[in-house]
């Protein structure tokens, strides 16, 4: 979803780039090396996905904001548990460098607050178990095609929004359908 957001907003503009920290390149290179190179190439907007795949990701995002204040950084990850387990305080960084909770599936819905309202009149909030709730009733866990209900199995009216599904079945919803909610 983050890649789609970058593409919709910037198209082929070379000043914006999408990267995922689970890419093999980051096994031997640091995020700061990446940021330095992007800065040299004139990039001003970084869309960083799967941040939790890099050890000390929170320090990397903090350094992006500190060393390259002209960068607009949007980042997300599919593991809120790993994202919450951080040492750095990002609260005093510019809004664009703060963690976007729930942004993996609802980029406009949740920016820096836990609860928000969409134009559809539904309330969307981050959840303690699962990724978010809708109207305080429906619990949604976001993941890949093989995502299971493990985290939300005991919660009534819970759903998995799974990537790489063309059609839903049971309580599994294709993640791409959330694009129609904008």
DSSP conformation letters of the chain: -HHHHHHHHHTT-TTEEEEETTSGGGGTS-HHHHHHHHHHTT--EEEEE-GGGSTTHHHHHHHHHHH-TT-EEEE--S-HHHHHS--S--TTS-GGGS--TTTTT-TTT-SSSSEEE-TTS-EEEE-SSSSEEETTTEEEEEE-TT--SGGGTTSTTEEEEETT-SS-BTTEEEGGGGGGG-
- Residue 89: which pLDDT band, with cuts at 50, 70 and 90? very low
- Residue 49: which pLDDT band, with cuts at 50, 70 and 90? confident
Of the two residues 38 and 112, the one the predictor is more confident about is 38
- pLDDT for the residue 66: 87
- Residue 122: which pLDDT band, with cuts at 50, 70 and 90? confident
> Does the pLDDT value for residue 71 go beyond 80?
yes
Question: Average pLDDT of 19-38?
Answer: 90
Q: State the virtual CA torsion across 55, 58, 59, 62 in degrees, nearest 10.
A: 150
Average per-residue pLDDT for the chain:
75
> Does the pLDDT value for residue 111 go beyond 50?
no
Burial label, 119 (beta-carbon count in 10 A; 0-12, 13-18, 19+) = exposed
> Does the pLDDT value for residue 19 go beyond 80?
yes
Of the two residues 127 and 117, the one the predictor is more confident about is 127
- In the chain, % of residues over pLDDT 70: 74
Question: Average pLDDT of 116-134?
Answer: 73
């Amino acid at each position: 979803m983050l890649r789609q957001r970058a593409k919709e907003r910037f198209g082929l503009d070379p000043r914006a780039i999408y990267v995922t920290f689970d890419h093999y390149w980051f096994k031997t290179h640091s995020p700061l090396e990446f940021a330095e190179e992007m800065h040299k190439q004139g990039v001003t907007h970084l869309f960083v996905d799967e941040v939790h795949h890099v050890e000390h990701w929170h320090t990397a995002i903090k350094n992006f904001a500190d060393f390259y204040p002209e960068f607009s950084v949007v980042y997300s990850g599919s593991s809120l548990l790993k994202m919450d387990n951080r040492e750095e305080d990002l609260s005093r960084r510019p809004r664009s460098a703060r963690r976007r909770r729930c942004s993996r599936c609802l980029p406009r819905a949740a920016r820096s607050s836990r609860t928000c309202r969409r134009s559809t009149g539904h309330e969307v909030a981050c959840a303690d178990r699962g990724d978010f709730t809708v109207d305080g009733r429906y619990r949604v866990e976001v993941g890949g095609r093989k995502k299971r209900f493990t985290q939300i199995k005991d919660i009534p009216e819970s759903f998995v929004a799974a990537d790489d599904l063309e059609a839903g079945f049971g309580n599994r919803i294709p993640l791409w359908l959330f694009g129609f909610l904008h």
